[in-house]
Amino acid sequence: MKGPAGEEAGRGPLQPPPVFLERQSYRRRRLMDAARLLPLMGAALFAVPLLWPTDEAGTVRMSAAITYVFGVWAVLIAVSALFGRATRQGGDRQIAQEPER
């Protein structure tokens, strides 16, 4: 119901209408946000061996640290590939749904 000067009931003249985002574009944006945070998460995970307890000599087994670092590296590659595929598929769906002009 509209009031004076075209204002809707319950909303003042200075309040903008609510923003509606389609579910697919919202999901794609959140995936892109998560992909942007991936390097920070990777840096934190790469720093974890620095926090490991040391033995009597004050060292960490090098084989364990290297295995951990390469494992994290492989997981980061796989996760970034999944994020890339998911955002690309979301973009393809959006393009397919747009009507031709």
Number of domain units in the chain: 1
Query: What is the rounded average pLDDT for all residues in the chain?
Result: 79
Residue 34 lies in a domain: yes
pLDDT exceeds cutoff 90 at 53 = no
Task: Please determine, for residue 5, whether its predicted confidence score (pLDDT) is greater than 60.
Answer: no
Q: Is residue 11 part of a domain?
A: no
pLDDT at 36 over 70: yes
Domain for residue 40, yes or no?
A: yes
Q: Is the pTM of the predicted complex or chain greater than 0.85?
A: no
Question: What is the DSSP annotation of the chain?
Answer: -B-GGGPBTT--TTSPPPP---HHHHHHHHHHHHHHHHHHHHHHHHHGGGGSPP-TTS---HHHHHHHHHHHHHHHHHHHHHHHHHHHHHHHHHHHHSPP-
The answer to whether residue 100 sits within a structural domain is no
Do the domain assignments include residue 90? yes
Domain that holds residue 79: 22-50+61-95
Whether 75 is in a domain gets the answer: yes
Report yes or no on 7 lying in a domain.
no
User: Given a cut of 80, is residue 101 above it in pLDDT?
Assistant: no
**Residue 89 included in any domain:** yes
